[in-house]
């Protein structure tokens, strides 16, 4: 039976590069894959998955109204699909995560979803919350804080490099807007002391 995998990490852990490597491995063996990413993530161009190390591939651009099960089923009717890979999975809706689970359960196609676990306020993204709850396999990819410890948190910074503490959960950006930190250094940057921010 096919499984739903959630690969999660802080910023700069190589999620997109890992996705593109998995895609290459399938295609190298003559297998067909489908790639999906958020339509509004236009840092490079809409419908493109790009990594910091220079790997890139075109993908199906999806928005909150996209029915991923239906899109995969349509592709499957034309030719076999051996794997579905989803970048920026934190931005999926609850319904879309369950659609991906149905791709595994009803179409017997494995799904590899890659995304952030939490936002800049240490709150779960909606897509990540559901993936953490229902995925068959959870795999943490490692990022590194400047201190050398494992980075698990995403700090959003302003143009001067200071921590942003308020704002919309979703703001597309890369290294110029986000810094991956360990929990200790994240809390220091946010001015949090012993849970006093709660």
CA distances from 152 to 13, 96, 118, 120, 168 (A): 10, 25, 9, 11, 20
Of 28, 70, 88, 129, the catalytic one is 88
Rg (CA), the chain: 17
- Determine the Cα–Cα distance for residues 157 and 51; give it in Å rounded to an integer: 21
> Is residue 88 annotated as a catalytic residue, yes or no?
yes
- Determine the Cα–Cα distance for residues 190 and 102; give it in Å rounded to an integer: 39
Q: Closest Cα partner for 154 from 195, 188, 130, 182?
A: 182
Percent of the chain as helix, strand, coil, to the nearest 5: 30, 25, 45
Residue 46 near residue 62, CB atoms below 8 Å:
no
Q: Closest Cα partner for 63 from 44, 81, 47, 76?
A: 47
Residues whose CB falls within 8 Å of the CB of residue 50, separated by 6 or more in sequence, listed in order: 16, 43, 44, 56
Residues labelled catalytic: 88
């Amino acid at each position: 039976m096919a499984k739903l995998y959630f690969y999660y990490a802080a910023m700069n852990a190589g999620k997109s590069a890992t996705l593109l490597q998995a895609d290459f491995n399938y295609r190298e063996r003559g297998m067909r894959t489908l790639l999906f990413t958020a339509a509004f993530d236009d840092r490079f161009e809409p419908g493109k998955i790009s990594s910091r190390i220079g790997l890139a591939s075109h993908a199906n651009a999806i928005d909150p109204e996209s029915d991923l099960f239906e899109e995969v089923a349509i592709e499957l009717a034309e030719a076999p699909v051996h794997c579905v890979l989803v970048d920026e999975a934190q931005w999926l809706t609850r319904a879309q995560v369950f659609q991906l689970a149905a791709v595994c359960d009803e179409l017997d196609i494995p799904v590899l979803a890659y995304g952030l676990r939490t936002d800049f306020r240490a709150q779960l993204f909606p897509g990540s919350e559901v993936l953490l709850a229902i995925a068959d396999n959870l795999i943490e990819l490692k990022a590194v804080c400047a201190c050398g410890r494992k980075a698990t948190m995403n700090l959003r910074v302003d143009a001067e490099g200071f921590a942003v503490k308020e704002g919309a959960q979703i703001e597309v950006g890369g290294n110029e807007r986000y810094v991956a930190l360990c929990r200790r250094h994240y809390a220091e940057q946010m001015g949090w002391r012993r849970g006093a921010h709660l």
